[in-house]
Amino acid sequence: MKRQSFILVISLLFSLMNELYAQVGQFAKPEISLTLIPPSPVTDQIVLDVRAAIYNNTKASKTIKVRIYLDKEDKSNLLYQRNFVLAGKANAGIKFPWKTKGHAGDHKIIMVTTSGKKILLTERPMQVIPSNIRSTRRIDGAWLGFYHWSEDEGKYWNSELKKATDAQWGEMMDAQHGLEMNIIVIQDVIRNPTAYAGKHNIEKEGYKGVPYYPSKLFPGKVPIAAVDPLEAVLAQADKNGMNVFVGVGAYAWFDFTLGSLRWHKKLATELWDKYGHHRSFYGWYVSEEQDGGLGDAQARKDIVHFFKEFSAFIKAKTPDKPIMLATNSHNVRGAEEIYRKLLPNLDILCPFGFHRMPATDLTGEQSAAKLQALCNEAGSHLWMDMEVFDFAEKNALVPRPIGGLLSDLHRFPNFEKILCYQFPGLLNSPDMSIKPGGPNTVKLYLDYKQYLDSVKISGYQPVADTTELRTK
């Protein structure tokens, strides 16, 4: 009864919070933001992409001084500096590289802005692990779906996810944090599972998808117990110092047409206005996916144009927040020139399926090497979407034995981050109040925990970012 009462109170609080949002329109906007790509931890074999954003939320122009330091606010530790005038209701972005080579150990990147007497400070932790490869050989994060799009694939856990409360989604974030999987990728925020590129009439009939969160753009809500699971995930991620990619989607699978572009811009605007105050809001995940060959001739034109336009839109709105896309790793050969046009407008490519390449295709290692070379050429990042599932009867997803995970972690040393698909339904802490997917999910969680404990650096503890206001 006590647990039920607690869950009821939490749900009522979420309801009141969303009612307040409906009345005031949005929460307080950020003034400064600092993003490290990739987030901690990393090895000393990568180049860190340091990004920052400064927002002038007033109507008057401001003169702003920006300083970014390593470890402490001292001239000898200065990494970057810039003075500029920022117009009213405008924002500005900063981007520069920092080589991790020679910097093994625990660090923090500190950003300080000064405008008149107002001083703002924010910092991010950065642990650099000594290594002879790019990969940390850890699973650094995981996808999260509030309800699996396929009833067949989600056979063993959809019914449990449907009953999960806001508090239990927060609990799941604690379990993921317990494995130091501190990157979360929201699969999508709107359920529209049956629409595919070229096989729908959305432009004529209207969009029929239903949101998981309280939306002003789209009517209704997916029938799940949680009031606002996206808010629950972001709020708990704030407390844990985690990083969340918010899933901008889904419009229709593999669809990057002009209609899809317009829809994504509208959705991204609502999501930023509603959830952009969260420190854990790390970046944007475009949910539509695509084959590694990037589709037919028209699909290739569409995806290149989509990300050119969407990237410009997002950078104007959130200058430091990266955009990520997941493709599969198959059929890359022959699509190199399209990647050269796509990748300059895509911050992170996160392909999957390297361990199950078609017999006539490249090997997984060859595909990874080719994609890494293309990303290096474009200045974008290559992460890995590692599958932690096997297919059972009728394509039902079940936990993949730990041996397969360890094989991938050691076969592919070039990925600066390795994420997995997915946490809900395939990994569960024994301490969670619900365990979607059953006992084998707990076994996989504990098996990976044992591996992690054997390889992680002694004494490493994830540290949350902090933001504070100081006045002279």
Query: To the nearest 5 percent, what fractions of the chain are helix, strand and coil?
Result: 35, 25, 40
Whether 329 and 354 have beta carbons less than 8 Å apart is answered as: yes
DSSP 222-276: -S-S-S-HHHHHHHHHHHHT-EEEEEE--SSBT--SHHHHHHHHHHHHHHHHHHT
Look at phi and psi of residue 249 and say left if phi exceeds 0, alpha if psi is from -120 to 50, else beta.
left
CA distances from 455 to 138, 356, 459 (A): 8, 26, 12
Q: Which residues of the chain have pLDDT under 70?
A: 1-27, 457-472
DSSP 277-291: T-TTEEEEEEEEEE-
pLDDT of residue 457: 52
pLDDT of residue 455: 86
Whether 221 and 179 have beta carbons less than 8 Å apart is answered as: no
pLDDT digits (tens, 9 = 90+) for 347-366: 999 999 999 999 999 999 99
Identify the H or E element spanning 382: strand 381-382
Q: Domain 141-455 sits in which CATH superfamily?
A: Glycosidases (3.20.20.80)
| Cis peptide bond N-terminal to 424, omega within 30 | no
Look at phi and psi of residue 338 and say left if phi exceeds 0, alpha if psi is from -120 to 50, else beta.
alpha
pLDDT of residue 173: 98
pLDDT digits (tens, 9 = 90+) for 397-412: 999 999 999 999 999 9
Domain spans of the chain, in order of start? 32-130+463-471, 141-455
pLDDT of residue 27: 66
CATH class of 32-130+463-471: mainly beta
For residues 216 and 238, give the distance between their C-alpha atoms in angstroms, rounded to a whole number. 24
